[in-house]
């Protein structure tokens, strides 16, 4: 195992939203790093062949000691390039959506929606990585972690030391993305498990149009810098 690689722990929905607006997987046992990832493989397939992705997800947030902090669930739609929608369910409903130009974080219970410029908000983040359609090798170090329990693991490390995460692990089952784990600089882990996965299906454009209830406050945040 290289000095960079370590098992990831889970993080919560709020942590993911913070990473999105500025982030995903890990097992309870260590994954052995076996080699640098080959030029072709499940990660390359995911970014070159998967144009749309739809799944139900369960998200957990863990401390570095694998203590559960928070757990949530919901539904994800992804359409490359640059569009996604994370719908989080009860008890704390929330929508995190990128429509190609703007990033929205909508809390129905608070009757509030935060609006940010998408390029500025996502930048070099895990959310930007997932929504992109170019190989992560251009901006990240990529390493194969081998197969564990029928899941093929690949890890990416940002070359930028100021990135919002220190490692992301992708878990694939026969080229289908099943898990994502993110380790942040504070050693918290966000783990997302995908079920009912459908790839390259037609997703209507309306899915990336946010319908707000009457009376919702829209907070427009200016681009930083």
Backbone angles phi, psi at 162, to 5 degrees: -95, 10
CB count within 10 Å of CB 24 equals 29
Q: What is the pLDDT of residues 17-38, one digit of tens each?
A: 334 333 333 333 333 333 344 4
Least confident of 95-109, 135-149, 168-182: 135-149
β-strands 217-220, 112-117 pairing? parallel
Task: Say whether pLDDT at 107 is over 70.
Answer: yes
Q: Look at residue 49 and give its three-state secondary structure.
A: helix
Q: Does residue 167 register a pLDDT over 60?
A: yes
Question: What is the structure's pLDDT at 93?
Answer: 92
* Topology classification of domain 13-218: outer membrane lipoprotein receptor (LolB), chain A (2.50.20)
- Find the mean pLDDT for residues 67-71: 91
Neighbours of 151 (CB within 10 A): 19
**The model's pTM:** 0.80
Statement: residue 134 has pLDDT above 90? no
Asked whether the beta carbons of 98 and 115 are under 8 A apart, the reply is no
Residue extents of the structural domains in the chain: 13-218
């Amino acid at each position: 195992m290289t000095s960079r690689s370590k098992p990831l722990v889970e993080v919560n929905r709020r942590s993911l939203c913070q990473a999105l607006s500025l982030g995903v997987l890990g097992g309870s046992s260590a994954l052995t790093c076996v080699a640098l990832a080959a030029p072709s493989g499940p990660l390359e397939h995911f970014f070159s062949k998967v144009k749309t992705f739809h799944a139900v997800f369960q998200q957990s947030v863990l401390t570095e000691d694998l203590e559960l902090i928070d757990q949530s669930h919901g539904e994800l739609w992804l359409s490359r390039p640059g569009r996604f929608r994370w719908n989080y369910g009860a008890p704390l409903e929330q929508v995190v959506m990128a429509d190609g130009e703007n990033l929205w974080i909508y809390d129905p219970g608070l009757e509030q929606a935060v609006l940010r410029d998408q390029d500025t908000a996502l930048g070099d983040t895990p959310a930007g990585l997932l929504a992109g359609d170019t190989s992560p090798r251009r901006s990240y170090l990529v390493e194969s972690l081998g197969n564990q329990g029928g899941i093929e693991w690949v890890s990416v490390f940002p070359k930028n030391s100021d990135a919002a995460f220190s490692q992301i692990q992708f878990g694939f089952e026969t080229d289908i993305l099943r898990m994502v784990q993110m380790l942040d600089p504070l050693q918290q882990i966000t783990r997302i498990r995908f079920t009912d996965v459908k790839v390259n299906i037609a997703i209507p454009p309306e899915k990336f149009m946010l319908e707000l209830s009457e009376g919702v406050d829209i907070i427009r945040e200016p681009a930083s810098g």
